Amino acid sequence: MPSLHFRYSAMNAGKSTYLLQVAHNYKENGMDVLLLTSALDGRDGYGVIASRIGLKAEATTYSAETDFDELLQDVNVACVLVDEAQFLSAPQVHQLHKWVHTQKTPVMCFGIRSDFRGEPFPGSATLLALADSLEEIKTICQCGKKATMNIRTDEKGLRVSEGDQVLVGGNNRYRQVCAKCFYN
C-alpha cells in the first residue's frame, strides 16, 4: 500500500543525495517520478535539486501558494519526491497525505525537523504527525556525537540565535550539532 514517507535529519546529512538516488532507482527501472523542490531555495538555481557531492536534477518548484490537489491532479508517476519538505505548509502536507491514499502513489518527503532555534517547521511537524513512514537520516556533530539540531552562523562564523525562521543557506550559514553542543 502506498505511503507518505518523511526522511528527516539535521543539516548536511545527505537528504538531497538520498532523494536523487531514489529518483535514479525508479528511472533506471523505467518508471517516471515527479521531483518537487521549494521555490525558496535558489542556491543552485530555481527548480534544481542539488546535493553537496555534485548530483543535480531539474524539479518543479512549489511555494506557499501551491495547491497540491491542483498540481497533482493529472500526474501519472510511480512516485513523488519532495525536497526541502520543511517549507511545506500544514495544509499542503494534508493534501499530499490525502493524495497518497486516494491515488495510491507514494510520496517521499525529505527535510529537516527544526530550525536554528530548535523550533519545528510547520511542514515537518505535520509530516511527523501524518507520515506513514518516518526515517531519520543520521549525521554527526563536530564533537563526534549524532547531530540532531541545527545552528545558524553569521558571515564571521559566529552563532546567531535570533532572526526569521527561514534564511536559505548551506555550509556558510548552518552547521549540524548534537543537543549538547546546541545548548553550550
The stretches in the chain having pLDDT less than 50 are none
CA distance linking residue 110 with residue 44, whole number of Å: 17
What are the cell numbers at 146? 549524532
What are the cell numbers at 17? 543525495
What pLDDT is stored for residue 144 in this prediction? Answer: 97
Is 178 domain-assigned? no
What is the domain range of residue 43? 4-137
> Whole-prediction pTM value?
0.92
CA distance linking residue 38 with residue 49, whole number of Å: 9
Is 147 domain-assigned? no
Is 101 domain-assigned? yes
What pLDDT is stored for residue 169 in this prediction? Answer: 56
Q: Which residues of 137-159 are buried (b: 16+ CB within 10 A; e: fewer)?
A: eebebeeeeebbbbbbbeeeeee
Cβ atoms 176, 13 nearer than 8 A: yes
Q: Convert the pLDDT of each residue in 81-131 to its tens digit.
A: 999 999 999 999 999 999 999 999 999 999 999 999 999 999 999 999 999
Is 157 domain-assigned? no
What pLDDT is stored for residue 1 in this prediction? Answer: 77
Is 9 domain-assigned? yes
Q: Could you give the number of structural domains in the chain? A: 1
Where helices occur in the chain by DSSP H, the ranges are 15-28, 68-71, 90-103, 122-130, 179-183
Is 171 domain-assigned? no
33 pairs with which residues across the strands?
79
What pLDDT is stored for residue 51 in this prediction? Answer: 85
What pLDDT is stored for residue 53 in this prediction? Answer: 82
Beta-strand relationship, 149-153 and 159-160: antiparallel
Cβ atoms 6, 134 nearer than 8 A: yes
What are the cell numbers at 122? 510547520
What pLDDT is stored for residue 25 in this prediction? Answer: 97
| CATH number of the structural domain spanning residue 97 | 3.40.50.300
Is 161 domain-assigned? no
In sequence order, which residues have a C-beta less than 8 Å from that of residue 148 and are 6 or more positions away?
A: 10, 178, 179
CA distance linking residue 172 with residue 174, whole number of Å: 6
Q: 135: closest CA among 9, 2, 3, 1?
A: 9
CA distance linking residue 116 with residue 13, whole number of Å: 16
The catalytic residues are 84
Is 143 domain-assigned? no
